[in-house]
């Protein structure tokens, strides 16, 4: 099977001019709201309107396991992926707490968990297979499995009725896959991409570096689909599809941290026009994330030294997106203020 990249709506250059002029004419000094003004214009372009609406938000936590974890790339066993997915469904993880505070609904997507999750209204069963193969020794996925994951992610995002989607993840060992993806697609030297991940000490980091070096030497893949097949994972491929499917459907797509950005990098390499349609929530404390954001020409909204994943940083950016949209619809123009048209 093959994945057909969804067609993205053309961004209206004339609308961009009108949006910029409307923002400049608001009752405030020009440029005084900084990045929020740029975000307001971006949201208007994505929704193709001078009166954008950003209210209902969903966070999709794509979960999957990695065969490479058998080599010791993570400080935690793969069983934690299943346990954390259950915790998300129970509403007891950090992303749930942040989502509750920010008015965001959380959905868990089983992209490739190496375990069985209980039926739950908040669970989307999109499992392609139970975990990837060991990318240190063989290709993590087949071409068909990559295409299937991309397609399912695109369908999930396009089918949402929310205005804004936060794309997050859970998968023990997935910083290793994301690192290899960044190495090939940024591109960047492997040593500049490798970080602590979920809790490595110095010894664990050295072991992780050795494993990733062996994995990188195993394949010379550089194309986005080939890189996904060689290094995984299913949640990363499904997130990449979600960015493309959601953007094609006119959704505001918010990118979370290092892993989510790796998926965005895959998606942008598949469709460069996606780059202007993504909102990058934050720069994480994971080594390599800022370099990856640079490869995406991305300017993150926040810097909170987070490196959790789950969509946690993305959720915190949702109120900023809502505020940016309301700038366009609820802030008076300077002309109305001066003329006295604004009354209590």
Name the residues annotated as catalytic.
310
If you ran DSSP here, which 8-state letter would residue 331 be given?
S
For the record, the structure tokens of 104 come out as 């965001």
User: Helix, strand, or coil here: 74?
Assistant: coil
CA gap 185, 168 in Å, rounded: 20
Name the residue with tokens 């992780």. 208
Q: List, as own/partner pairs, every contact residues 121-129 make where C-beta atoms lie below 8 angstroms and the sequence separation is at least 24, other chains included.
A: 122/88, 122/89, 123/89, 124/60, 124/156, 126/152, 126/153, 126/156, 126/238, 128/152, 128/234, 128/238, 129/234
From edge to edge, which strands make up the β-sheet containing 104-112?
123-125, 104-112, 57-64, 164-170, 252-255, 278-280
End-to-end CA distance of the chain: 61
């Amino acid at each position: 099977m093959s994945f057909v990249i969804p067609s993205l709506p053309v961004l209206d250059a004339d609308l961009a001019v009108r949006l910029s002029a409307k923002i400049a004419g608001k009752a405030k000094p020009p440029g005084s709201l900084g990045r929020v003004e740029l975000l307001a214009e971006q949201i208007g372009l994505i929704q193709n309107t001078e009166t954008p609406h950003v209210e209902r938000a969903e966070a999709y936590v794509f979960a999957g396991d990695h065969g490479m974890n058998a080599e010791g790339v993570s400080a935690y066993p793969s069983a934690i992926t299943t346990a954390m997915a259950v915790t998300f469904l129970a509403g007891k993880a950090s992303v749930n707490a942040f989502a509750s505070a920010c008015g965001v609904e959380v959905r868990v997507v089983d992209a490739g968990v190496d375990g069985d999750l209980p039926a739950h209204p908040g669970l989307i069963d999109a499992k392609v297979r139970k975990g990837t193969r060991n990318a240190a020794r063989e290709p993590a996925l087949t071409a068909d499995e990559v295409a299937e994951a991309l397609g399912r992610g695109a369908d999930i995002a396009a089918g949402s009725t929310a205005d804004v989607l936060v794309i997050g993840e859970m998968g023990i060992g997935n910083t290793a896959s994301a690192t290899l993806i960044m190495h090939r697609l940024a591109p960047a030297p492997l040593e500049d991409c490798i970080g602590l991940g979920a809790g490595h000490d110095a010894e664990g980091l050295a072991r992780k570096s050795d494993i990733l070096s062996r994995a990188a030497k195993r394949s010379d893949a550089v194309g986005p689909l080939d890189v996904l097949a060689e290094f995984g994972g299913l949640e990363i491929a499904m997130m990449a599809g979600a960015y493309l499917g959601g953007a094609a459907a006119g959704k505001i797509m918010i990118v979370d941290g290092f892993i989510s950005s790796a998926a965005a990098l895959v998606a942008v390499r598949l469709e460069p026009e996606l780059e202007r349609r993504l909102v990058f929530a934050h720069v994480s404390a994971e080594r390599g994330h800022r370099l990856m954001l640079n490869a995406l020409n991305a300017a993150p909204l926040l810097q909170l030294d987070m490196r959790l994943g789950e969509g946690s940083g993305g959720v915190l950016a949702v109120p900023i997106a809502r505020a940016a949209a309301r700038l366009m619809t609820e802030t008076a123009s300077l002309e109305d203020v001066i003329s006295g048209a604004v009354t209590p």
